[in-house]
Amino acid sequence: MKLIELLNEIKTISVKGNPDIEIQDIMYDSRTPKKESLFVCLKGYTLDGHDYVNEVYKMGVRSFVVEKDVALPDDAVTIFVENTRVSLAYLSAAFFGFPSKKLITVALTGTKGKTSASFMIKSILEKSGKKVGVIGTIGIFYGNTHIETDNSTPESYEIHKYFAKMLEIGCDTVVIEATSQGFMMHRTNGIIFDIGIFTNLSRDHIGGNEHPDFEHYVNCKKQLFRQSEFAVFNRDSEYWEIMLEGSNCPYTTFGMSDGADYTGSTPQYITEKNHFFTYFYCKNGLEMHKIEVSIPGQFSVYNALVAIACTRQLNSSYEDIRSGLRTTVVKGRMEILPDTEDFTVIIDYAHNELSMQSLYNTINLYSHNKIYTVFGCGGNRSKLRRFAMGEISGQNSDLSIITSDNPRLESVIDIIEDIIKGIEPTGGEYEIIVDRKSAIFEALEKATKGDIVLIVGKGHQDYEEIQGEKYPFDERLIVAEYFERKSSNKQ
């Protein structure tokens, strides 16, 4: 593609050099330069792409988008713009042929629930015959492809690249988590979403490298509804009307209180064999439908209402909705594993005190016997978290098995000692098994009918990070291996 054609999509301050050259790709990471690429200089929290232009030039790149002066040889094409992140979004869309215009696009923003609701929407739409891709916290999914991501909302180049790949394999719909950070970094600029969804809002992500204050956080999230053709709002949130400010798009609402367009009843929590289900009624106008959700807890009702309101707008039937919600599984989010005999095994990403307490609160909605919790804490992270997670496990578990969980550059033993300081004052029983696989096997060996084994901390992750190296470690495979060995020993 000609650079001069790409430049038609952005506002430039000035162009130095001749832009009538061929561009084979766009890049924003100086560590992966390609000849005949356009290098867009992005300023990050610690590094600035402008500082690496000469290194990139030496590797064969001859065209650059910048927002401040850089010293480059005369044969380089230098495009000056006001904001390189904004420019990257529009350049990427054009380079990949504006793929978002060829897809049904659904975007979710909110503090919690985005990942689970995304997969509920995907499950329902696939029951309705659509082919759906997902971009979010636990990765990028399309067809049989799963790619890990560093950010819930990736850089704009990655968004458009994967939108294009989804189109190539026949996807007609994409569901994407649209974070406040993503809006702040202009990653979704230029995309008009078919449906924008607001799940909820709490005072999170304030300070540090995130938002300077709550008002800034809110304003970033509001941007979604200026980029949406239709909106879905959580009417139970005190912020839903604030989210609507500045937007003229039509909308519908959901909630568990009167006044919402899609209203959920008080849920029932049912244990069937070794699985937990949540039942509720969804009322929409004069219609009333019984809904069964395969993900435990009250919060799953809200996520289900998100999915119902969204997919009804896309013409899914209630038959498809019921079928989709009953079979939704979200990797590492209250993920109940199949084929675990007569007790329940749950893998969850809970990795701080709030999410861990929420996990126990959810489990205690259902009938069960003993709880065995296998967990550790990540290295090079808050030490206060270790005490708190130990305390919560000690208070809620019949047995805590303390083990390794991504110790990174720290000593596993030091981390475990910090956790014990939280458990011991509770009087809760605990064991120490440093090897995580052995710890999981021990919990599975102890569990009997009606018990729950919680494997906490990794969730969707399929690796163990030790001393800067990542080693394969998929807890689903380890649990399956345990039951395969047990079955073989019986024969």
The 10 Å Cβ neighbour count of residue 329 is 15
pLDDT score for 111: 81
Please give the order of strands across the beta sheet that includes 77-80: 14-16, 77-80, 63-66, 37-40, 25-27
The 10 Å Cβ neighbour count of residue 411 is 10
Do 379 and 409 touch, CB atoms closer than 8 A?
yes
Compute the distance between CA of residue 131 and CA of residue 171 in angstroms, rounded to an integer: 5
Q: Model confidence over 69-104: pLDDT tens digits?
A: 999 999 999 999 999 999 999 999 999 999 999 999
- CA atoms within a 13 Å half-sphere pointing along the CA-CB vector of 169: 16
Most confident of 140-154, 308-322, 375-389: 308-322
CATH architecture, domain defined by 99-327 = 3-Layer(aba) Sandwich (3.40)
pLDDT band at 341 (very low <50, low <70, confident <90, very high): confident
Is the pLDDT assigned to residue 121 strictly greater than 90? yes
Picking from 227, 197, 186, the residue whose alpha carbon sits closest to that of residue 100 is 227
The 10 Å Cβ neighbour count of residue 276 is 25
More confident residue, 212 or 29: 29
Do 375 and 405 touch, CB atoms closer than 8 A?
yes
| Average pLDDT value for residue range 111-132 | 96
- Among the ranges given (105-109, 237-241, 426-430), the one the predictor scored with the smallest mean pLDDT: 237-241
Q: Model confidence over 437-473: pLDDT tens digits?
A: 999 999 999 999 999 999 999 999 999 999 989 999 9
CATH class of 335-490: alpha beta
Compute the distance between CA of residue 59 and CA of residue 220 in angstroms, rounded to an integer: 37
CATH domain 3-95 topology = 3.40.1390
pLDDT score for 210: 65
Picking from 301, 261, 299, the residue whose alpha carbon sits closest to that of residue 291 is 301
Q: What ranges do the domains of the chain cover?
A: 3-95, 99-327, 335-490
Backbone angles phi, psi at 422, to 5 degrees: -85, -35
Sequence-ordered alpha helix ranges (H) in 169-272 = 180-184, 214-222, 240-244
Both tokens assigned to 482: 């345990």
pLDDT band at 328 (very low <50, low <70, confident <90, very high): very high
